[in-house]
Homo-oligomer: A and B are copies of this chain.
């Protein structure tokens, strides 16, 4: 008996033999990346649709740039984060890197085409060799949805529109309450100056301040003093400022601040913020905005107002696990970046925003899962089916007529499918109608049109079929 089993197993092993070679191969996507299934694509398209409609509502054009840039185009734009850039292998020819964001390619595009004036959006994937945290929507390949206004304009009008766009999108997406923190690089720099931070330490102290949304002031202070060598009393002075946040009244209070008001940069920043708040009130969104002195933003290229939207909580749904609350949109003013590319150093002031869609995808997906909502992944209106055998030719003829008339139609790829299987396919795929061909119907010049939901069947004259299908499915198809 045992010998028999061994023989069987050996035979099995021999059969598997050639396949084991294949097993060495790892079947996966690269670290930090993922495929999008049809269900995930349905969510993605729904989110993109909200965002694109908003960008178009604000009169934006759209551009696209290559996924890689000359390496030198990206050099010196991202500070410490440059180490996260993906380089391409030198295979002869130019040295290339994958884009790290859409802002630097946009600035390169403006300088290259000598544009001084554009309002554009750009939705595309960007690449960062970061430590992925995929359950929280942090990937190495991820989408950015950017809207930017380039051009020399009167102060704070485009800046206010960027904040308005951010609020419109986050409201439309219905992902919960949010708050937009606002600050200004000039206020930060002015504050560091009046507190006594040496010029050379502005950037590094700035990145310590940026951590205040995750850790306590005590820890940040320890970093400033312990690691970065700041005098404790200087750190305390910073602490007094950065722990403040509020509305326009805080702006006005700081405009009276005996030290800050002596600093030209801070004064300019505060003056602009005051104007910004006026415009935000006219846009009806001032209640969503918080002037927050601890907001610093990592990237080097910002020169003026900066902002970041955070979710206050995810909507509490039955069975839903709490998601890490964090930044879902951000942006700011960068007036110097285009000049870095222009051969004559001509500046083009820019302000823009970026929507963190990956985190938003995660939130929407989780909500749909919690609700056990089934997302339709096709838009098929009708399945062409047959009640008897030997009707493949008739099915092919009918489905072709429907396609040519613009109807979304399918048929099973079998010569003689069972009617039950055809009906089951409709149930699974959410197809609302079945056009059933039978021998009697062919003689009578009709098609049996069946509603999958109600199981009602009516005979429709073949020449009226297209109109009848259109009539029954004319409500705009919703993928959610």
If A29-B69, A37-B63, A56-B379 are given as contacts, then 16 extra A-B residue pairs at C-beta distance below 8 Å, sorted by A number, are A16-B344, A19-B343, A22-B343, A29-B65, A30-B66, A30-B69, A38-B120, A59-B380, A59-B408, A68-B141, A86-B91, A89-B90, A157-B392, A161-B413, A278-B393, A284-B404
A233 within 8 A of B: no
Task: Decide if B57 touches A409 in the complex (CB within 8 Å).
Answer: yes
A210 within 8 A of B: no
**Does more than half of chain A's interface fall in helix, strand or loop, or is it mixed?**
mixed
Task: For A279, give the chain B residue with the smallest CB separation.
Answer: B396
CB distance from A109 to the nearest CB of B (A): 6
* Residues of chain B contacted by A149 (CB below 8 angstroms): 413
A9 within 8 A of B: no
Q: A19-B344, A380-B59 are in contact. Are A111 and B154 (CB under 8 A)?
A: no
Task: Decide if A407 touches B57 in the complex (CB within 8 Å).
Answer: yes
CA of A113 to CA of B38, assembled, Å: 12
CB distance from A34 to the nearest CB of B (A): 7
Nearest 8 A/B pairs, CB to CB: A153-B413, A38-B61, A33-B66, A59-B410, A36-B64, A87-B89, A282-B396, A157-B413
A397 within 8 A of B: yes
* Residues of chain B contacted by A397 (CB below 8 angstroms): 282
Which of B30, B72, B343 touches A96 (beta carbons < 8 Å)? B30
A-B contact pairs, 21 of them (CB 8 A): A16-B344, A22-B340, A27-B341, A28-B70, A29-B69, A33-B68, A41-B61, A41-B64, A44-B64, A56-B378, A56-B379, A57-B403, A59-B380, A59-B409, A61-B378, A66-B141, A67-B141, A87-B89, A149-B413, A151-B413, A278-B393
* Residues of chain B contacted by A113 (CB below 8 angstroms): 35, 37
Task: Decide if A63 touches B89 in the complex (CB within 8 Å).
Answer: no
A423 within 8 A of B: no
Q: What sequence of 0s and 1s flags, for each residue 413-431 of chain A, a beta carbon within 8 Å of any chain B beta carbon?
A: 1110000000000000100
A 339-384 contacts with B by CB, 8 A: 340-345, 377-380
* Residues of chain B contacted by A344 (CB below 8 angstroms): 16, 19
Q: Which bucket holds chain A's interface residue count?
A: 35 or more
Task: For A62, give the chain B residue with the smallest CB separation.
Answer: B41
Q: A380-B59, A407-B57 are in contact. Are A284 and B67 (CB under 8 A)?
A: no
Q: What sequence of 0s and 1s flags, for each residue 78-109 of chain A, a beta carbon within 8 Å of any chain B beta carbon?
A: 00000000111111011010100000000011
CB distance from A75 to the nearest CB of B (A): 9
CA of A125 to CA of B124, assembled, Å: 11
CB distance from A65 to the nearest CB of B (A): 5
Task: For A394, give the chain B residue with the smallest CB separation.
Answer: B282
Which of B70, B343, B345, B414 touches A154 (beta carbons < 8 Å)? B414
CB distance from A135 to the nearest CB of B (A): 18
Q: Which of the listed residues A64, A70, A96 has the most CB atoms from chain B within 10 Å of its own CB?
A: A64
* Residues of chain B contacted by A118 (CB below 8 angstroms): 38
Q: What sequence of 0s and 1s flags, for each residue 159-181 of chain A, a beta carbon within 8 Å of any chain B beta carbon?
A: 01100100010000000000000
CA of A34 to CA of B68, assembled, Å: 10
CB distance from A402 to the nearest CB of B (A): 9
A 1-49 contacts with B by CB, 8 A: 16, 18-19, 22-23, 25-31, 33-38, 41, 44-45
A312 within 8 A of B: no
* Residues of chain B contacted by A396 (CB below 8 angstroms): 157, 160, 279, 282-283
Q: What sequence of 0s and 1s flags, for each residue 134-157 of chain A, a beta carbon within 8 Å of any chain B beta carbon?
A: 000000010000000101011001
A400 within 8 A of B: yes
Task: Decide if A66 touches B154 in the complex (CB within 8 Å).
Answer: no
Task: Decide if A27 touches B108 in the complex (CB within 8 Å).
Answer: yes
* Residues of chain B contacted by A19 (CB below 8 angstroms): 343-345
